[in-house]
Amino acid sequence: MYNQPMLKDDALKGKTIVVTGGGTGLGKAMGTYFLKLGANLVITSRKIEVLEKTAQEMEADTGGKVLAVQCDVRDNAQVENVLAETLAKFGSVDVLVNNAAGNFISPTERLSANAFSSIIDIVLKGTVNCTLAFGKHWIKEKQSASVLNIVTTYAFTGSAYVVPSACAKGGVLALTRSLAVEWGKYGIRTNAIAPGPFPTKGAWDRLLPGDLAEKFDFKNRV
């Protein structure tokens, strides 16, 4: 098995990266790798106790510097605070990773308006809030930078039973493509990656509660 790293050591040395939803799962994994490549890291989520524990683990594992900032990406004031605390701690910020998300499986006809809105607010509006706050700062400072948005495979195809997430991620994909053109002149690169599902306990407990996890277990279909 080929297991050599894609990037050389210290490829991100001197860079500061903000990862929303950085306390667990994919955000935590990406953040840990950024640290190993020499970056300074800021992780955010709504649960400060989770963030602080993760930050301690990351620093112990990598020897890097991690700033944990509580933030609900739906709240513009909290997003602006993340930017302010990042600048106060590290002096600049180079990359924003919009990873914060929410999702659940449900027949669409059973969804309430609030259930639908909650996913749109976190995934789409939260991504917009963070991107605008950081983008305006970079444009004002005439600084080249990068935005990485986390979408999903069904942002391209749509998907039954996760319609709020599909709509929100589709919107994030459109945002990514639009700003890649509009903000390119400022030296701001905007990209998205679309991973498939991660069968971790945290993801499966939220997506497939109760006996649904067993019913949809891919191993049972082989």
Active site (catalytic) residues? 154
Q: Tell me, what DSSP letter sits at residue 36?
A: H
Bridge partners, 145 (sequence order): 188
As a whole number of angstroms, the distance between CA 194 and CA 180 comes to 16
CB proximity list for 61: less than 8 A, separation 6 or greater: 32, 35
Contacts of range 113-119, beta carbons closer than 8 Å, 24 or more positions apart: 115/164, 116/163, 116/164, 118/164, 119/164, 119/165, 119/168
As a whole number of angstroms, the distance between CA 50 and CA 220 comes to 33
